[in-house]
Chains A and B, each alone.
Chain A
Amino acid sequence: MVSCKEGPQQLSKIEGKQLPINASLEEVDSIASFVAPFRNRINEVLDSTLAYAPKPFLLDDGKRNTSMGNLMADIVFEEAAPLFKSRTGNDLDFVVLNYGGVRSIISEGNVSARNAYEVMPFENRIAIVEMSGSAVRELISFLINATRRHPFSGMQIVLDKKGSLESVNIQGMPFDENRTYFVGTSDYLVQGGPSIGFFKDTLSTTDIDYFLRNAIIDHFRKVDTLNAVVDDRFIQLD
């Protein structure tokens, strides 16, 4: 027994390679059958029709705003405003999201919860940020100068021919730099901090315990037909 003890080991050679997982590998039956009932349940929930899309909702169909971005921002406004009002007594003024946060378009046809998972795969919640008028002005400048078409709702921005700010209306009223505003958004943009650019300076943040994806699914359940178009919420005069 002792005689075959070899003492310290010396590493002599290393070989490395990458092995692809493809159809040439059979499935282990016990693993496949373990997963199957979970997959079936998920498909059942995700694929039941909740609403109808009469046309595709796209992320590149308008110059300054898009039908898919508008749909998302409008959904967040509609679903979050009543909840925020009942929690705090305050009115939601407008909603701003990030273009990159809308992860998918919605194709024409039946709409299911699967669409909501494609559009919003992450576990982000709706956050309501209280901002000073001057911070809102900075946010508006950020939106104007951004190269991406960040979705918003409840606000209208009009630029003149040269691209300078012509007017801003929030809930149909001219923007007032002397008051504070309540802005709905994704907690990702708030907690991402100043480097993301959206919310550099905030007075308070309210978590309404509402996942963005759940707001989308709730909206799909509520309406028969999805409705959003490229509109005049963000335009440049010509």
Chain B
Amino acid sequence: MKRRDFITNTAAASTLVGMGGLGLSSCSNLGGKKITILHTNDVHSHIDPFPSSHSQYPNLGGVARRATLVEQIRNENPNTLLFDAGDIFQGTPYFNFYGGELEFKLMSKLKYDAATIGNHDFDNGVDGLLAQMPYASFEMLSANYDFSNTVLDGYVKPYKTYVVDDIKIGVYGLGIALDGLVTKRLYKETRYLDPFEIASDMERQLKEEELCDLIICLSHLGYDYENPQRPSDTQLAQRTSHTQLIIGGHTHTFLEKPDVRINQNGDSVLVNQVGCYGLNVGRIDFYFDATKKATAQGVSISV
């Protein structure tokens, strides 16, 4: 689709510049740029809206409606990326019958850009996840699951960068500890690595080597736990230095508004999660100015 005109991966972006494709966007809005990030989490195979008789979520959710919303926002701002924070699978017979094929095909139709892997995405094993990979036109990102001794080796990347309207965006994925949560028979030789350490590595790489303007983490760690040693999004926000947005999942947390935490550099980090079952879509707009006014007095956040 036309989206390729303004959202390209890094390699293709340099080609575009060389071919003079720059004229498309970069001169047009010297006054500032706006990047829109849309996100879901824990959709759990909820493809249809809940029935109107449902006691908790009557007539809410539904992927065909979500498609309309995403389309509207993309029309309003073509510089939009769409992400999911995991647990795409398990929760309705669509998954039991078709193993996740529909979920991935629909996310591809909605033009998701990337997703991370939740614990329930292992419910048909690493083999079951691999079997659905051909239906995903989006990237699966996980930096702290080492799949090198599994069939998923080479199918999951730690991070991906996107160049949108000349803004470079780095996105990495983090998953939850599998032991005790997912049976070994399913995750097999997948190795879980410390998410705090991996996050530091990722954001350093994205900041210093990839020179990203914006760094986003897709996390399935869970929003917040009593034990501060247990990896969570709120802990991650406070322990990292360059990650600006953490899109969370796992705990099915309905936040009234995105949470703002302070990182190791004293800067603000947004932590967001939009409940579950495709009942909501999160929207975060990032506004950029050219650095001519070099004394940017921090970032104004309105949530």
Contacts and interface: CB of A to CB of B under 8 A. Distances in A.
Interface stretch (A68-76, A138-146, A159-167, A186-194): A186-194
Interface in B251-303: 255-258, 268, 270, 272, 274, 278-294, 296, 299-303
Contacts of A4: 26-27, 30
B57 to A, nearest CB: 10
B126 interface: no
A1 B22 contact: yes
Interface in B50-82: 59-69, 71
Contact of A20 (B30, B48, B60, B286): B60
A35 B166 contact: no
Contacts, number: 190
A14 B285 contact: yes
Nearest to B301: A14
* Interface core residue of B27, B183, B278 (most chain A CB under 10 Å): B183
Interface in B178-193: 180, 183-185
B281 A19 contact: yes
B302 A13 contact: yes
Contacts of A10: 288-291, 293-294, 296
Given A9-B166, A27-B62, A39-B48, A16 B300 contact: no
Contacts of B94: 38, 42
B288 A11 contact: yes
B53 to A, nearest CB: 14
Interface string A1-39: 100111111111111111111110111111110110011
A60 interface: no
A156 to B, nearest CB: 31
B194 interface: no
B290 A21 contact: no
A28 B90 CA distance: 24
A7 B93 CA distance: 51
A31 B255 contact: no
A14 B283 contact: no
A229 B293 CA distance: 77
Interface stretch (B4-12, B96-104, B153-161, B201-209): B96-104
Interface string B240-259: 00001000000000011110
A46 interface: yes
Interface string A158-181: 000000000000000000000000
A34 B107 CA distance: 12
Given A11-B286, A42-B97, A195-B180, A19 B299 contact: no
A122 B186 CA distance: 13
Contacts of A7: 290-292
Nearest to B123: A123
Nearest to B128: A123
A210 interface: no
A14 B166 contact: no
Nearest to A117: B93
Contacts of B71: 28
Given A20-B60, A27-B62, A38-B98, A6 B93 contact: no
Contacts of B152: none
A29 B97 CA distance: 23
Contacts of A9: 33, 166-167, 213, 288-291
Nearest to A114: B93
Contact of A5 (B26, B270, B300, B302): B26
A187 B125 CA distance: 14
Interface of B: 20, 22-23, 26-27, 30, 32-33, 47-49, 59-69, 71, 90-91, 93-94, 96-98, 102, 105-106, 109-110, 123-124, 166-167, 180, 183-185, 213-214, 244, 255-258, 268, 270, 272, 274, 278-294, 296, 299-303
- Chain A to chain B: the 5 pairs with minimum beta-carbon distance, closest first: A27-B64, A28-B67, A16-B258, A13-B287, A4-B27
